[in-house]
Amino acid sequence: MSLQEQLKDRLKEMEPQIISWRRHLHQYPELSFHEEKTPQMIAEILEGLNFDEIRTGVGGRGVVGVLRGSRPGAVVALRADFDALPIQDQKEVTYKSKVPGVMHACGHDAHTSQLLGLASVLANHRDQFAGEIRFIFQHAEEESPGGAIQMTQDGAVDGVDAIFGVHLWSMLPVGNVYISPGPIMASIDDFVIEVKGRGGHGAIPDETIDSIVVGSQIVGALQTIASRNVSPMNSVVVTVGTFHGGDNNNVIADSCRLTGTVRTFLPEVRDRAEERLTEIAKGTAAMMGASAEVRYIRDYPAVINSEKEAELAREAALAAFGEERVLPMKPLMGGEDFSYYLGKVPGAFFFVGAGNLEKLAEYPHHHPRFDIDEDAMLIAGELLGRTALHFLEKHQS
Residue 176: CATH number of its domain: 3.40.630.10
Is 83 a catalytic site residue? Answer: yes
- What total of structural domains would you count in the chain? 2
365 belongs to an annotated ligand binding site: no
Is there a single domain that holds both residue 81 and residue 116? Answer: yes
Give the residue from 298, 329, 357 where a domain finishes.
298
108 belongs to an annotated ligand binding site: yes
Is 274 a catalytic site residue? Answer: no
The predicted structure's pLDDT at residue 120: 98
244 belongs to an annotated ligand binding site: no
| Helix (H/G/I), strand (E/B), else coil: 177 | strand
104 belongs to an annotated ligand binding site: no
From 35, 141, 374, 382, the catalytic residue: 141
366 belongs to an annotated ligand binding site: yes
Is there a single domain that holds both residue 193 and residue 224? Answer: yes
From 81, 83, 89, 254, the catalytic residue: 83
Is there a single domain that holds both residue 10 and residue 130? Answer: yes
If you compute the radius of gyration of the chain from its CA atoms, what whole number of angstroms results? 24
Is there a single domain that holds both residue 111 and residue 222? Answer: no
**What does 221-265 look like in DSSP terms, one character per residue?**
HHTHIIIIIS-TTS-EEEEEEEEEE-SSTTEE-SEEEEEEEEEES
| CA pair distance 94, 369, nearest whole angstrom | 13
Domain that includes residue 361, residue range: 3-183+302-394
42 close to 99: Cβ distance less than 8 angstroms: no
Q: Label the pairing between strands 177-178 and 347-355.
A: antiparallel
Q: Which residues of the chain have pLDDT under 50?
A: none
Is there a single domain that holds both residue 15 and residue 121? Answer: yes
Give the residue from 263, 298, 333 where a domain finishes.
298
The predicted structure's pLDDT at residue 397: 57
Is there a single domain that holds both residue 28 and residue 162? Answer: yes
The predicted structure's pLDDT at residue 396: 83
- List, for residues 349-395, the tens digit of each pLDDT value: 999 999 999 999 999 999 999 999 999 999 999 999 999 999 999 99
Q: What is the CATH number of the domain that holds 291?
A: 3.30.70.360
Give the residue from 298, 314, 346 where a domain finishes.
298
The predicted structure's pLDDT at residue 193: 98
pTM of the model: 0.95
User: Residue 307 CB: number of other CB atoms within 10 A?
Assistant: 12
Is there a single domain that holds both residue 155 and residue 275? Answer: no
